[in-house]
Amino acid sequence: MTNNSRPRLLWTTGPLLCIYLLCCCPRAGAQQNVIRALQAELPGYGQDSLQYANTLNRISSLYLVQHLDSSRHYAEAARLLSGRLKYPKGLADAYMNLGACFTFQNNNNLAYRFYLESLQRYRNLADSAGISQALANIGAYYHYQGQSQLSIPYLQEAVSVGSRLLRDSLWVPVLSTYYVVFSRDSLRQDSARWALHKAHDIATRYHDGRMVTYTGLFLAHERMQNGQLQQAMDDINSLVQAALPLGLTYLAVYGNAQLDLYASYAQRKDSIVYRERMLEAAIRGGYKRLVMAPVTSLYRHYKKTEPARAFHFADLMCEIAGQQPELRAKGELDYMESFIQEKETRALHLNNALQQQSLATGQLQITNRNLVIWFFIVVVILLGCLLVAFLRVQRRSVLRDRRYKEVNQLLLQKHRELQHHDDFKNKLLSILAHDFRLPLSQIINITDLFRRSDIPPEHFRDMAFSIAATANETLQLFETVLQWIKSQLTGFDYVPSVYNVKELLDEALEPLEADIRDKGIVLEMEVEDGLTVKADHEMLQFVNRNLLHNAVKYSRRGSRVIVSAVTRKQRVLVTVTNEGTGIHAMDMPYIFNHRVPGKLVSETGRGAGLALIICRDFIEKMEGNITVRSDGENYVTFEYEM
């Protein structure tokens, strides 16, 4: 572009999209407030009402200048509802909104089809405002397709119909369309400028901020054409700043595009700033598909100046290019589906009319055939009786089958319960045989030592302490097993309370202090101050005692046992780590199972044990989870979260 040339309105499709916005959007104040108010009203109308369809169409038209995907969503919903309710006005408005949406998606041919559909329905309804708007859109389409001779009749008819509207505010979009199409026509420039000023005056009188802003953009363009470039750019800057709070996102795109064009024309360095603002507004409102040229320009600019930033615009280019075929294909399919539904509806209406005509003819013939009528009445009564009898038999059969199914389901449920109890019994016997055999065998082996005469007397006291500790541990495990069995068989009533985590851990560690001193274990406590947990006291303390007992029992002499408790995502995470022989990798999946087929059994003679199974069951009942990890050689870490 040279200094002697004058910039045109916008990047290629800008004026056309602006026209469709003017013709499709109803008068509104602050866009977002109006949309929220309409959305709040929707539940009160009922989802199968004409008012609901009208509100969907109005929300769709308001979203056109704010968020394109939302506009299309509401337009599709209005089209489906209006088709189901056979509501012509709702269908016409939905097609008008869909046409505008597809114009924004650079699918002008499909948009043109929707405008034709809406025009046909507006003509059938004698809706002058709708006819005027649809004519203006179709005229604009032909103009920007290079078929000016076809566009002129549509625009002239649109202006003529709009001039007779009772509310001249509905005439503003048509006047604006007339200006944009004929502003560069030397024969119609005066009338085009008159149309623009007339539209701006009407919009100002009705306090229509959206229309005032749009026509203000065109007035600023007129100032630029008259050589007042700086004043034009100042006016556009003010309009863009006012548009965003009103929710007119597309206006921000269009205004920044004008500023970019004017700045480039004046060879000003801030043109790239306006281009970035335009892209930011386009992404915010879902209009990325309209700014392929600016994105390409930004990519080329930053590829030379800041290559790192150029990657972002390269990704946007690929995204926009990839969306075009998909959206075009989807739009074609939507249109074909709508077209087929319309054809089916018309065929049904025609078939209904033919049936009514045939019925009328039959009634005329029946008046002369009274005897035949009585004969058919008797036949129908007999058939009705047979039908009633058949339905009764069928109903009894259905009820009988239903009873059989209920009985079979009940039997199947009882069978599953019996199988579950049998599995539980087998599992319980296996666990008890494993976990109680070892401590009892130890007690027997120690008592056998008393019969030997070669044992010094001072060792008998240690053996007595060992027997007492083993018996106490076995008794405690037995009591917990009874409590667990009761919860398994009779159900579980979980009534949690809040407890201090540090106090619970100290209480669980108290019986283990002697063992810790004897083995020279270094105990490291890392618990957050004031940390509390909501749980059942006895269940949680069983878990704590078992994990701490195992950590001390299987730790090497002089090694460390680390106990930590922290808060993570509003949950308490308690971790117990000991430095021992570790757990082999092949045993990890079965550590909470009563069968451990790996090295843990073959080398140590011990499985997960009933205690760990109960630990997992208690933690899950308290809406938590417990896990274990180990390197297989040096450490084992148990942790639970709840």
Is 600 within 8 Å of 594 (Cβ atoms)? no
42, 53, 81, 199, 328 from 46: Cα distances, Å:
7, 10, 12, 37, 33
Question: What does the pLDDT average to over 41-52?
Answer: 83
Domain boundaries, the chain: 14-290, 365-455, 492-641
Distance CA 476, CA 68 (A): 68
The CB-side HSE value for 27 (13 A sphere, CA atoms) comes to: 16
Quote the pLDDT of residue 14. Answer: 47
Quote the pLDDT of residue 639. Answer: 93
Q: Has residue 596 got a pLDDT over 70? A: no
Q: What is the pLDDT of residues 576-587, one digit of tens each?
A: 999 888 888 888
Angle between helices 292-305 and 271-285 (to 10 degrees): 130
Quote the pLDDT of residue 626. Answer: 92
Q: Which residue has the higher pLDDT, 447 or 82?
A: 82
Burial 19-28 (b: 16+ CB within 10 A, else e): bbbbbbbebb
Q: What dihedral do alpha carbons 28, 31, 32, 36 form, nearest 10°?
A: 20
Residue 365, SS3 per DSSP: helix
Quote the pLDDT of residue 466. Answer: 67
Quote the pLDDT of residue 22. Answer: 47
Q: What are 628's two structure tokens?
A: 């274990």
Element (H, E) at 567: strand 560-568
Residue 570, SS3 per DSSP: coil
Is 13 within 8 Å of 290 (Cβ atoms)? yes
Q: Which residue has the higher pLDDT, 42 or 578?
A: 578
| % of the chain beyond a pLDDT of 90 | 7
- What value does the mean pLDDT of the chain take? 78
May I ask the CATH architecture of the domain 492-641? Answer: 2-Layer Sandwich (3.30)
Q: Has residue 562 got a pLDDT over 90? A: yes
Question: What does the pLDDT average to over 483-506?
Answer: 76
> Can you say how many angstroms the Cα of residue 62 is from the centroid of all Cα atoms in its chain?
23
Residue 177: beta bridge partners? none
Beta 522-527 vs 560-568: how paired, if at all? parallel
Distance CA 177, CA 341 (A): 32
Which of the given ranges, 15-29, 263-277, 455-469, has the highest pLDDT on average? Answer: 263-277
Is 351 within 8 Å of 130 (Cβ atoms)? no
Quote the pLDDT of residue 602. Answer: 40
Tokens 């999946």 identify what position? 589
Q: What is the pLDDT of residues 356-373, one digit of tens each?
A: 777 777 777 888 888 888
Q: Which residue has the higher pLDDT, 571 or 104?
A: 571
Quote the pLDDT of residue 442. Answer: 63
DSSP annotation of 556 reads P
Distance CA 634, CA 584 (A): 11
Quote the pLDDT of residue 4. Answer: 38
Which one, of 9, 24, 56, 215, lies nearest residue 138 by Cα? 24
Quote the pLDDT of residue 487. Answer: 64
Ramachandran angles phi, psi of 641, nearest 5°: -135, 135
Which one, of 60, 52, 76, 77, lies nearest residue 21 by Cα? 60
Distance CA 166, CA 61 (A): 22
Question: What does the pLDDT average to over 604-624?
Answer: 73
Q: Which of 42-56, 479-493, 612-626 has the lowest mean pLDDT?
A: 479-493
Q: Has residue 401 got a pLDDT over 50? A: yes
Q: Which residue has the higher pLDDT, 146 or 506?
A: 506
Q: What is the pLDDT of residues 505-523, one digit of tens each?
A: 998 888 788 788 888 999 9
Q: What is the pLDDT of residues 304-350, one digit of tens each?
A: 888 888 788 788 788 777 765 655 555 544 544 554 455 445 555 55
CA angle, residues 329, 334, 335, in degrees to nearest 5: 100
Question: What does the pLDDT average to over 138-146?
Answer: 81
Helices (H), 367-456: 370-449
Distance in Å from the first CA to the final CA of the chain: 68
Q: What is the pLDDT of residues 615-633, one digit of tens each?
A: 888 888 888 999 999 888 8
Local confidence band at 129 (pLDDT 50, 70, 90 cut-offs)? confident
Indicate the residue type of 146: G
Burial 457-479 (b: 16+ CB within 10 A, else e): eeeeeeeeeebeebeeebebbee
- 14-290: which CATH topology? 1.25.40
Quote the pLDDT of residue 1. Answer: 40
Mention every residue, 6+ apart, whose C-beta is less than 8 A from residue 346: none
Within 10 angstroms of residue 311's Cβ, the number of other Cβ atoms is 12
Residue 638: beta bridge partners? 576, 628
207: left (phi over 0), alpha (psi -120 to 50) or beta: left
Residue 578: beta bridge partners? 561, 636
Ramachandran angles phi, psi of 309, nearest 5°: -75, -20
Quote the pLDDT of residue 6. Answer: 45
Distance CA 72, CA 471 (A): 75
Quote the pLDDT of residue 227. Answer: 86
| % of the chain beyond a pLDDT of 70 | 76
Local confidence band at 352 (pLDDT 50, 70, 90 cut-offs)? low
Indicate the residue type of 237: N
Distance CA 236, CA 256 (A): 8
Local confidence band at 640 (pLDDT 50, 70, 90 cut-offs)? very high
Quote the pLDDT of residue 426. Answer: 66
